[in-house]
Structure 1
Amino acid sequence: MASERWVFGYGSLMWRPGFPFVERRGATLHGRRRAFCIYSVHHRGTYERPGLVLGLAPGGACRGAAYRVDEADWAQTYAYLLEREQPTETYIEARRFIRLDDGRRVESLCFLSDVMHAQWAGALSLERQAELIAGAKGLSGRNVDYLRDLVDHLREMRVRDAGMERLLTMVEHREAAA
């Protein structure tokens, strides 16, 4: 249906959407990839000690979760998402077509990385990502916990991301040595 409201999650929205929904499906967004490419000065770091959070960087494809929101809940859900996802306006709000696991192609609200924003970190080496994530903490908690939640939930979805798993191992070793 053209009037359906969908939200695509590729990070914490996969395991903690925080809004009511009537349907949840695995989904793929083409043309963007999940990456630790945003300096976090709010949720997982501070201005003095930035961490890193996920973004949808240009290129590739991203597996995530799609949520269909009832029209009656849309205004409240949309306001919540803007507050949650845009504290420093590091993302571009966009509507993109995603492919649901059941084969449907639906239009969805997505928050894409703004490559022109001051918090855009770009393509960092795994070593640099580990340096930034290890020890970082913000209003939503420790940066390593965010990474660990991501890896755990990707595994639950049967998505193996060797890069994210290697990054988690690197961060855990850094934090153990600190």
Structure 2
Amino acid sequence: MGVFVFGYGSLMWNPGFRHAGTRPALLDGWRRAWCVRSTYYRGCENTPGLVLGLKRGGSCVGVLFEIPDDLVSETIGTLDAREMRECGYRRQTLPVLHADGSAEAIAYTTDSLPDPHEADFDIAYRGAKGIAGRTSEYIERTRDFIKGMAIPAHWPPAQDGLPPRLTAVEKRTGFAPLSREP
């Protein structure tokens, strides 16, 4: 059967690992938070960027990735190297809901990090750039992905965690079936 990985930020639109398929998923009790100061991927020491973390409270709609048994070790190694590069992430296994039931999924949480001030968004959005690109690109790609998500109508909205002037709203078109990689 393998394992599942819950993506809520760039993993949704740029997973960087092989998988058997995806489906929308709901993580209850956790919310998206732009609390990770990125000094590598989306910023630098002089102008830190902001990327997403998961903090307790609320709920988070994201993507559930199915990882086959033969790829579990490689995938976890890839994800740990990627996610743990920035300070504050912690790998946990959490219960998530999907259209066909529930699963235990690996998620990278950041409960110990403080929430940023709105001024932090402005600075990061205007000027932060790291090896993976600008914070502004990360924010826009995450917003665009959330806007395009098709989730069950009875789930809570897919909040992007941004200040209201930057926030996105997902589509309410029912649920998307498991997609398979070619």
Normalising by structure 1, report the TM-score. 0.82
1:153 maps to: 145
1:77 maps to: 75
Structure 1, unaligned runs of 5 or more: 170-178
* Number of corresponding residues: 161
Write the letter of the residue equivalent to 2:63. Answer: A
RMSD: 2.0
Query: Which one of the candidate residues 23, 28, 38 is aligned to 2:21?
Result: 23
Q: Is the 8 A contact 2:38 2:86 kept in 1?
A: no
Q: Where in structure 2 are the equivalents of 1:112-123 lying within 5 Å?
A: 112-115=109-112, 120=113, 122-123=114-115
C-alpha distance in 1, partners of 2:130/2:15?
19
C-alpha distance in 2, partners of 1:99/1:168?
24
C-alpha distance in 1, partners of 2:167/2:27?
24
Q: Structure 1 residue 146: deviation in Å?
A: 0.2
2:3 maps to: 5
Q: Is the 8 A contact 2:5 2:106 kept in 1?
A: yes
Quote the sequence identity (%). 33
**Residues 125-149 of structure 1, C-alpha deviations (whole Å, 9 max, x = no match):** 4343222332100011011000000
2:59 maps to: 61
Q: Structure 1 residue 75: deviation in Å?
A: 1.0
Structure 2, unaligned runs of 5 or more: 151-156, 169-182
* Residue 94 of structure 2 corresponds to residue 96 of structure 1: yes
Q: Is the 8 A contact 1:129 1:167 kept in 2?
A: no
Query: Which one of the candidate residues 83, 107, 110 is aligned to 1:110?
Result: 107
Write the letter of the residue equivalent to 2:145. Answer: H
C-alpha distance in 2, partners of 1:148/1:104?
31
Structure (1/2) with the larger helix percentage:
1
C-alpha distance in 1, partners of 2:31/2:161?
12
